[in-house]
Structure 1
């Protein structure tokens, strides 16, 4: 019998492993950068494939069934072995190739303009940026390093804070001149909209009356805001040029919010390759001087 006849859907397997390890759909969704509903759908798909429930779902908690615990104990070593085998094979072809997972907005607005300095220092290292909303996972060797935006609460990786973000709502001068009482809030798609949540809690602002427009990526949010379509949460590290040339201005009178949110360098557990170590040191120095 062919092996693939017995293999479950691999995305569903990855979802199950994360939920079983955390015993939490919320924490697993954060780790995999997916919504809880998408994660629940994948777990349900695996349960249908096996023909049995894997979790006992309660109001505020979940537990593995006996079958679920047995299945988790069997597949976890296999997944770790696959990850180790993948890392060893990816390191072999080219020691100078470096894959970096990064949000497209950070790559476009901050990192790319500074990469020339890295290439001048390390011309033998080839950098491949892999931009995505759902960042690739360093723990499973999808990338060598990743740069993430958040509060540093990612499990099973080494997270080093690069720089904090300064936040304030911004809009175009024309939009502000219209004095719209409750302009639309333009937001990048995320299952954790902590920017607006933290800012509104800090300044005790009720965002209820403001309509929300969800856009795919923060790059699109910036362009739509410059075009006068609404109010965005300005990430000052990324929109510095827009603030300097006046195409974006402060939407409200509150001072910029120095948040706990920032940019983090994410590396797998264990030693880095020489190329990853060079990039890591360069990035830390560049961020410290930014």
Structure 2
């Protein structure tokens, strides 16, 4: 067998490279920053290469570090996956998918139903959580995320670049609307606003939509969010509109079934793209699994139809 580097040193290097610092790596590993630094030095001595450039408390990967990091992460992920299989005694295929809350029920669940038809005996674990998540540590097979920037060390598969458009329940429009579908005449208290939270600034707003559409409002500023209905999930905005609570800028992939069934109506052909696409992230070591490849195909094909 070829000579192998010390596993503790490899692990310390992988964590430090992933989190971007020895102190952060020490917190994850439960050791001191000095211990992480020493383990990295041990690996550098073993390989005869400098893996990090150290500037004060900051570190950056060297060319050698960049060259070995993907294989290091993949190897450790393989070991972790093997350990889970042995410890759990897994006899059946098990798929672990991590997804944001807004996509779980309205978009992902129907796709998983298609996958189960192909793999009826497969166990599926759906985890609803915010970015970022540690796929290797939590043994996650596939993460769906808004944007392509959270997981630079993983394989990224673009799924859909969604858009928003004004939607509401038919009954709501019969009561509050007009034959011209003129949103400028709707009182601003009847608009539903999606608050994505402090981590996001690229999602389109009602102000953006009115600026794009031909039906401007007074001053061209759009309805005041403080006077309307506000929700914290884009899926909840669609649900609120379906229940007749107002007019929402609904994401098309989440509103599609309701639009086709007539539970929602689109009030304008004017739509706005989200700032980033939704992407799937998969560890390289798992990318060739049959269930993952099939799920990616289902997500990609359905995304093209949305």
Structure showing greater radius of gyration is 2
Residue 264 in structure 1 maps to residue 258 in structure 2 = no
C-alpha distance in 2, partners of 1:105/1:149?
10
- The unaligned stretches of length 5 or more in structure 2 are 1-14, 33-53, 178-185, 214-219
Distance 1:246 1:214, change over 3 A: same
2:99–2:145 CA contact under 8 A, matched in 1 = yes
Give the TM-score, by structure 1 length: 0.61
- In angstroms, what is the RMSD of aligned CA positions? 4.4
Summarize deviations over 1:113-142 as a string: whole Å, max 9, x none: 343332222224222211234464435444
Q: CA contact under 8 A between 2:163 and 2:252: conserved in structure 1? A: yes
Alpha-carbon contact 1:183-1:210 (below 8 Å) kept: no
Secondary structure, counterpart of 2:110 in structure 1? helix
2:149 matched to 1:153?
yes
Shift of 1:156: 1.8
Per-residue displacement from partner, 1:152-175 (whole Å, max 9, x unpaired)?
A: 233222111122323213233455
Q: Which is worse superposed, 81-90 or 92-101?
A: 81-90
Question: Aligned residue for 1:123?
Answer: 120
How far apart, in 2, do the equivalents of 1:158 and 1:289 lie?
23
> Equivalents in 2 of 1:254, 1:199: separation in Å?
17
CA displacement 1:195-241 (0-9 Å, x = unmatched)? 22598187286347333655343332222223343442211121112
Contact 1:159 1:265 in 2 (8 A): yes
Structure 1 unpaired stretches of 5+: 1-13, 22-42, 51-63
> Counterparts of 1:56-95 in structure 2 under 5 Å?
66-67=56-57, 69=59, 85-92=79-86, 93-94=89-90
Determine the structure 2 residue equivalent to 1:215. 231
Return the match for 1:180 from 174, 179, 187.
187
Alignment length (residue pairs): 237
